[in-house]
Structure 1
Amino acid sequence: MAVRRLPRPHRFDVWIAVGGLLGGLLLAIIGLNTRPADDPLTLFDGRWPPLLPLTVTAGCELLRRTAPRTALIVGSVAVTADLVTQGNLSTVLMFTDVMYAAVLYGPLASARRIQWITGLLTVAGTVVPFAVWRVPQALLIGVVVGVVAYAPASTGWIVRDHRDAAEAARLRAEQTALLAETDRVQAVTAERARMARELHDMVANHLSAIAIHSTAALSLDEPETSRQALTVIRENSVDGLAEMRRLIGILRDGSGDREPAAAPTLDGVAALVDGARANGLDVTLDSRPGEVPSPVELAAYRIVQEALTNALKHARPGRVTVCLARRDGVLDVRVSSPYGPVDGPRAPGSGAGLVGMRERAALLGGTFEAGPEGALWTVRAALPLIEGDHRS
């Protein structure tokens, strides 16, 4: 069976023990004791009997951090033994430090019990001798007990309370810093997602038109058709490049002097439809949204923009319908386009547009659906119009 070894004493505790032992030896050598030889309590007079309690108490100092309760119990026995000798002041002083350390480093429940016990001993040491002897000098016994036992225990409790409060404050500061870092990471992630949605919605429409018309220009050997396609390609290239430059300028300018572009509103949906018609889509618009909050306007505009871009890339020839209407406290956005195999050129898709539309609806507490409905592909979003429901 392995024997449990106590941890090595702290260096500071070793210095206390050595200093207390050497000080006590010096007091014994010069004959400076705490009581005279004719004191009634002195059972073992002489210069050397106090050295045994002195040595034991010095050993207790080595255990003041590693085994505070053991040190207090043994130290209490040693200081009691010191009472039947002529006494040594160093023994008493080291015992007060052992009492202090037992409260400071010992278990919390033990520290509370020591407080109560030393307090009761102080009261008893004051009341009982005075009741027995009826002389004012008897009160000094309670004073001595209070100084030797209760005072160091109370001091240890005060220091422990401040130490625990400081540790709790440190833990709260660490937790606050951790929460702040978590919020920062979440904010950066949300901002990156927002910028990704904005970049995709602003540029994808122009790039899709460029891809469709460049494919048509390459596949058709008709000069007039190629000229029209190149005209559309140039217009979309210029517009897309301008939007890209504006976005990059906002990202690079950290001074805050650059004014951001006004957020798109539902009044701009008609311009989106006109642009889609210029790119070859047959689009009809039914818009009766009325007054809606700004976040809802931006989300609805971007959803219509992306839905028209997807129709340009993937829809069969036919009519595309865009409908905006208020129903039961929500703005209903619906874009339908012909669905099925496409014979002509088409631009590739990555699925990022659907993800962005779904995120925009979710940030407002709304719903989003996209999928085939018979011969149509329908994109539908229901965006709440109540400001309190917005989470963006």
Structure 2
Amino acid sequence: MSARSPRPHRDDVRIALAGLLGGLLLWGAGLGTRPATDDLVLWAGRWPVLLPLAVTAGCELLRRTRPRTGLLTGVAALTLDTVTQGSLVTVLMFTDLVYAAVLYGPPATARRVLWNSGLLTVVGTVVPFAVWRVPEALLIGVVVGVVAFTPGATGWVVRNHRDAAEAARLRAGQTALLAEIDRVQAVTAERARMARELHDLVANHLSAIAIHSTAALSLDDPDTSRQALGVIRENSVEGLAEMRRLIGILRDSSGDTEPAAAPTLDGLGSLVEHARANGLDVDVDLDPDLDCAHTALPAPVELAAYRIVQESLTNALKHAAPGRVTVRLHRRDHALDVCVTSPFGGVRDDGPRAPGSGAGLIGMRERVALLQGTFEAGPALGGAGPAPGPANGPAPGPADGAGAGGGAGDPAAVVRTWAVRATLPITEGETA
């Protein structure tokens, strides 16, 4: 089944009706035609003029939907009009067909019409003058130029402006789309940063509260319960203070990328003391160079190192077996190494452990990735470093012969640990 032809545009219908009615009015008034005595009139009489007029008006209906067909039919109608007494309206409608073919037709058709009309204008100017050798012969080229080339050139200029406007509109749409993508990415990144900050600020305090409140409820010793309640109150107050600070940062409209009061390595001592108060045996190995003022670290590096140690101590409080937790911070030429090891395997016998969701490891990995550093977390032997494997997956069980007591008859027992190690690059010129 053949496809239906597109309906004419309503503006084209108006143009066709206006041309037809205008031609009929001039024809009825005896205007806009050549005299019958003209030598070029081969088909004399008033009625033959109406045929090319009606055909050209019908071609106007195709000026947008089928401009090439309309122009070719219009050329035939104009040729027929030249051997009659002619109608000025037929010529005017033909110029509109040329204009529409260049403006609405395919690019190849537009170029072909423009080149052919230009060539026809040149031929219509040169050949008659060369044959008749009179200045009046040049008028033929002028008429051809006005009827064919001028409408085509006008349509070409309008087409170029239209294409430029369309390209500008597409570029504006693409720019708006890229801006929206950037906005969504910025919002997502900010939400991730806020989630990391919120988790790191309150996870440590809430974990301690959960552990000590469970201990207070499970033990029937008044002294132990009173001590647990004191730890709970201390962690609650500190957690509320940290929450207020985070809320103040969110309300601040200064546009800073990091809070002005972001924790630094200077607060590492109080962080360790707080972990010890919660029952952890923490040993700190801090590079002496980090205490020198002239070796101050960039703020993002200090914040990331502090949060990694904080989250590692929180995880040790929730999941580690009894034993010593070691925190090591050493500075190399262009990087800061952070390593936290804690006992791995077994079950705490000095109290319950708080549940965890693994969000802490995700947050640590994201912080290190933002600084283009490396991060590993996993079981290790003797604190030698994390074993290869995903940092966010479940912890594997102790290896055969590598438990807390080592192999049978082995005089040098191997300690099974959980290690978190991060390398934070320090770019030249970033330090204070």
Q: For this structure pair, what is the TM-score category when the shorter chain's length is used for normalisation?
A: over 0.9
Q: CA offset at residue 123 of structure 1?
A: 1.0
1:324 maps to what in 2?
329
Change (3 A) 1:149 1:334: same
Q: CA offset at residue 256 of structure 1?
A: 7.3
Please tell me whether residue 299 in structure 1 is matched to residue 340 in structure 2. Answer: no
1:358 maps to what in 2?
365
One-letter amino acid matched to 1:358:
R
Name which of 407, 411, 417 aligns with 1:376: 417
Could you tell me how far apart the structure 1 residues matched to 2:45 and 2:26 are?
A: 13
Deviations 1:43-82 (A, max 9, x none): 0122111111111100000010110000000001111111
Could you tell me how far apart the structure 2 residues matched to 1:287 and 1:119 are?
A: 86
SS at match of 2:48: coil
Q: CA offset at residue 27 of structure 1?
A: 1.4
Could you tell me how far apart the structure 1 residues matched to 2:428 and 2:146 are?
A: 68
Asked if the contact 1:293/1:387 (under 8 Å) is kept, the reply is: no
1:47 maps to what in 2?
46
SS at match of 1:36: coil
In the alignment of these two chains, the number of paired residues is 387
Q: CA offset at residue 255 of structure 1?
A: 8.0
Could you tell me how far apart the structure 2 residues matched to 1:231 and 1:137 are?
A: 115
Could you tell me how far apart the structure 2 residues matched to 1:381 and 1:387 are?
A: 19
1:108 maps to what in 2?
107
Could you tell me how far apart the structure 2 residues matched to 1:330 and 1:203 are?
A: 28
Q: Which runs of 4+ in 1 moved over 6 A?
A: none
One-letter amino acid matched to 1:89:
L
Name which of 319, 322, 335 aligns with 1:314: 319
Instruction: State how 1:119-198 maps to structure 2 within 5 Å.
Output: 119-198=118-197
SS at match of 1:370: strand
Long gaps (5+) in structure 1: none
SS at match of 1:378: strand
Q: CA offset at residue 267 of structure 1?
A: 1.8
2:199 maps to what in 1?
200
Could you tell me how far apart the structure 2 residues matched to 1:161 and 1:274 are?
A: 75
Change (3 A) 1:207 1:269: same
Could you tell me how far apart the structure 1 residues matched to 2:315 and 2:321 are?
A: 11
Deviations 1:89-122 (A, max 9, x none): 0000000111111111100111011111111111
Q: CA offset at residue 383 of structure 1?
A: 1.4
SS at match of 1:27: helix
Asked if the contact 1:127/1:139 (under 8 Å) is kept, the reply is: yes
Q: CA offset at residue 224 of structure 1?
A: 2.0
Give the TM-score normalised by the residue count of structure 1: 0.94
SS at match of 1:49: helix
Deviations 1:23-55 (A, max 9, x none): 111111222244222222110122111111111
Deviations 1:134-157 (A, max 9, x none): 111111111111111111111111
Long gaps (5+) in structure 2: 382-415
Change (3 A) 1:73 1:387: farther
Q: CA offset at residue 298 of structure 1?
A: 1.0
Please tell me whether residue 227 in structure 1 is matched to residue 226 in structure 2. Answer: yes
1:239 maps to what in 2?
238
Change (3 A) 1:183 1:108: same
Could you tell me how far apart the structure 2 residues matched to 1:253 and 1:300 are?
A: 24
Change (3 A) 1:4 1:345: closer
Change (3 A) 1:319 1:295: same
Change (3 A) 1:38 1:275: same
One-letter amino acid matched to 2:421:
R
1:385 maps to what in 2?
426
Could you tell me how far apart the structure 1 residues matched to 2:99 and 2:68 are?
A: 11
One-letter amino acid matched to 2:369:
A
Change (3 A) 1:57 1:154: same
Give the TM-score normalised by the residue count of structure 2: 0.86
1:270 maps to what in 2?
269
One-letter amino acid matched to 1:282:
D
One-letter amino acid matched to 2:355:
P
Deviations 1:325-380 (A, max 9, x none): 12352211100011112233111111110110011111111111111113111011
Change (3 A) 1:261 1:221: farther
SS at match of 1:50: helix
Q: CA offset at residue 253 of structure 1?
A: 5.4
One-letter amino acid matched to 1:103:
V
Instruction: State how 1:25-64 maps to structure 2 within 5 Å.
Output: 25-64=24-63
Change (3 A) 1:353 1:74: same
Which stretch has the larger CA shift, 45-54 or 246-255? 246-255
Q: CA offset at residue 182 of structure 1?
A: 0.9
Change (3 A) 1:348 1:262: same
Asked if the contact 1:33/1:86 (under 8 Å) is kept, the reply is: no
